[in-house]
Chains A and B, each alone.
Chain A
Amino acid sequence: MNKERPILLAPLDPVHDIGLKIMKRAMDEAGYQTILLPPDYQAEEIIKVALENNVAAILISRTLGYGVAELLARFADLTEAAGLREKVKLAIGGMCIRPELAQELGYDAGFGPGTKPEEVLAFLEGVEYQPDSNANTKEKVAIADGFSYTYKNKRIEKLLDAIVDAILAWAQHKTSPAIKRAQIREKLLKLPVGADRSVLLQEYLKWCDPKVKDFYEKGTMPPKTRPLTSEELARLDSYVSETQKRMTVQKLQHSKTKPVVFIQYGTGCPFMDIAHIKTGEAWGADGVVHFDPSWGARTEGFLEGYLTHEEDGSIITPENLMRIKGSLCEHTLWQVRAHRGLNSPETVLLAGAMGADLTKINIAYGSLGAGTDPARLTVDAIQAIRYAVQYNLPFDVVTNEELCGVPAHKAFAGMLITAHLGRRLGGKPILQPLFCYSPEVMVSGDMSDNYIDFNAAKIMALRNIVDAPIWPGAPIGFLTQTEDRVQSSVTTALHGALASSLGVEAISIASSDEAYSGGPISAPSRIDTLRALKEAFRFFGQAGIKPTEKAEVLAERIEKGIEEVLEKVAAKGDFVGALYDGLLGSVAEGAYPGRAGRGSLLEE
């Protein structure tokens, strides 16, 4: 556009003109002459100024309300009557304005909320707006890098050393069906495409539950499970490829880079999962966490093939994992959990082989809150950690037993033991305390005033102990959410803001369906919390949430409690025995040593 003729910016509005002021600044910087009229001019007065100044374009702003559409249409008619319409570009902007409405009212363009000045400049230039192609790119974040794992609390370090020494000595000559299967799986993964798998598969099935054997030998599907057809797979490929072409991804973080935000998927169907993942990515999720079905964790052995089922949790098979991995954006972090069941080593192996970025391992939670025998899970976890090291997979150590009623300090003692074991074996553990309204605080009243102090105290306590990455979960705000989407989104966003304020590395967030148990999570409910979280990050920016003085007191109490628990475990000299005996969470506190896999350990 010829910049010799000025641009007229006129708020056809009694009050509002801020949008035009922002646009004026951009136009001035781009070298345009501009005339900005004050609010409350009549349409005829604006036309008069336009005629007197031989303007090249008139940009009107107006907030829509009763009768405004008619007013705007009348203004467009007046430009026509004044002989301006052929000579000037005419556009309108404001809340509730959208392109088709502008066109309907007789304008060349309409600019709604969120319009970038570059879009208006492109309109003036008569060129198509090209969004900044770099604006939506994201980098994959290595959340576990840059930590020394140095202990500030030397007493705790010494206790953990003693406990881990004892664990490794106890487990030295033990193995399990899960480890046997993982070893066979390693060989299966190395077979060339098309090679005969039957011998290895028969060997694998020796270590599996009857229902897994029936699946391979008789084709018997688990209940509510079916294979996905090749036609469905082809359609999925088209869906992913078409979606990928038009994908833009938002950034949730505003002026801070942390925390990285994970969502959890596991609808039961890998296709629905992929649709949810793409939605989550588009609305800003940085990472996704695979949830497997609870029966999968209690079944010896994995199925194979593209399988879908109608209940919570998506079945881990090499093919399902491969398909999910293939659908991810390059920057998306992918975690496959291996923390609770009878397939931990093989899960980590498959996760690593399929290109996962992270896994999840915790002996204490898996055996006290998730039903796996403590001895079995301890042996399996050691091998799982070794695979995590082999594939360079950092793993979080979650403390979900807090939700059963185990006090934070006991859960944290278990977390630190697994994390220390991980370090000893060369791994990169990530501490995952819960941000939750746990039974412990419901009873103690430690959250009776606010949800900030106790959660902040957890982070402060852990940082007083060791320099390690922290990833609160899972999800943040657990047990504060209700079925109401507004409440649920707000509480998630506020917990996210707290995490950001505390500078933790990552968070896992819920959807606004978190408290709804009547069916699968819906895609809109995922968008709800991602949008809410983005708004919270925007609101706080570099500012923060300040805990009260009570947080310090609680942090000291948690740290002291951890130390006392570790003293008892170290004194017992038997970590597995400590799990059975309730030192890391007792039956009275809602922790039940699991029975799945009990008696299944083998001597090497």
Chain B
Amino acid sequence: MEDCFKKILDAVDIETYFACKDEAEGRALALNLLEKFGLKDIDIVFIQFTGPGARVRARGYVYRPGDHYGWLEGVMANE
């Protein structure tokens, strides 16, 4: 099977909920989670903290517009 990251059109969103003490901790945890997946171009799309924890949608871009896209090059290779 081809590398799954090559097949991602543009980005990976990871949504979860951290039991944490404040938004900054939630943000750091989310970014750490993305890094553990090997994602480098990362950001927090959405975060909402209330007392018990933070609901977060974190994003890792695999391809930005203008990059060489693995999914496209894969098609070309198949041709």
Contact = CB atoms under 8 A, between A and B. Distances in A.
A527 interface: yes
Interface residues of B, number: 12
A531 B22 CA distance: 19
A550 B16 CA distance: 43
A53 interface: no
Interface string B8-52: 000000011101011000000000000000000000000010111
Interface residues of A, number: 19
Nearest to A247: B51
Give the residue among B15, B48, B52, B55 with the most A Cβ atoms within 10 A. B52
Contacts of A249: 50
A282 B17 contact: no
A523 interface: yes
Nearest to B65: A66
Contacts of B22: 246
A246 B19 CA distance: 12
A477 B16 CA distance: 24
A279 B17 contact: yes
A249 B52 CA distance: 10
Contacts of A282: 50-52
A243 B52 contact: yes
Contacts of A527: 17, 48, 55
A320 interface: no
A488 interface: no
B24 to A, nearest CB: 8
A538 B51 CA distance: 23
A246 B51 contact: yes
Contacts of A279: 17, 50, 52-53
A522 interface: yes
A90 B50 CA distance: 28
Interface string A226-248: 00000000000000001111111
Nearest to B53: A279
A250 interface: yes
Nearest to A114: B48
A243 B51 CA distance: 6
Most chain A CB atoms below 10 A, which of B21, B22, B55: B55
Interface of A: 242-250, 275, 278-279, 282-283, 522-524, 527, 531
Interface of B: 15-17, 19, 21-22, 48, 50-53, 55
